[in-house]
Amino acid sequence: MSEPIEYGVKRLGVALPVSRELLIEHGVMEPTDAERAELERLKAQVRRREQAHARAQLNARRRLAAIADPLARAVLDLHAENERGECTGDDMEGYEAEYPAWPCRTVKAVAAHYGIPL
Ligand SMILES: [Zn+2]
């Protein structure tokens, strides 16, 4: 009689600890009612923070747009945001150069001068 051919995954002699939160997040385990309520509370908290951040960013953009000083206006117009959320005013060099995200350091410096939090 020949040895049976073994297919499939070899079992490892180690156990990897995986948190209950990770198992719930990936749908392996169902959360308890208390865990579900806590998850909903945390999601609502994140949504509130995102909304507050979005409001603050919109307010900062309006204040930046209202700056009329010619030099600051020229700098801010040069360092405008493109459709990919990048600053278009920074010089780039090199094959793999990437545009900085908007607001870049220049816009942040102008904003700080005018007391605008970004
Ligand atoms: Zn820039």
Q: Look up residue 13 and give its two tokens.
A: 């002699």
Give the whole-angstrom CA distance, residue 39 versus residue 46. 11
**Residue that finishes a domain, picked among 35, 50, 66:** 66
CA angle 10, 12, 17 (to 5 degrees): 135
* Ligand 1: centre distance to CA 51 (Å): 25
Q: Is residue 31 part of a domain?
A: yes
pLDDT, position 111: 97
31 CA distance to ligand 1 centroid (A)?
46
Q: How far is the CA of 82 from the centre of ligand 1 (A)?
A: 11
Amino acid at site 33: D
Q: Do residues 53 and 76 share a domain?
A: no
| 28-76 pLDDT tens trace | 889 999 999 999 999 999 999 999 999 999 999 999 999 999 999 999 9
Round to whole Å and give the CA distance between 73 and 89: 13
Considering the domain architecture, whether residues 58 and 101 belong to the same structural domain is answered as no
Over the stretch 65-107, which tens digit does the pLDDT of each residue have? Answer: 999 999 999 999 999 999 999 999 988 888 888 889 999 999 9
Report CA(3)–ligand 1 centroid distance (Å): 69
The residue behind tokens 């509130």 is: 48
Say yes or no: 80 and 59 in one domain: no
Tell me whether residue 5 is in a domain. no
Distance 55 CA to ligand 1 centre (A): 22
Counted domains in the chain? 2
Domain that holds residue 58: 18-66
Does pTM surpass 0.85? no
The pLDDT value given to residue 7:
65
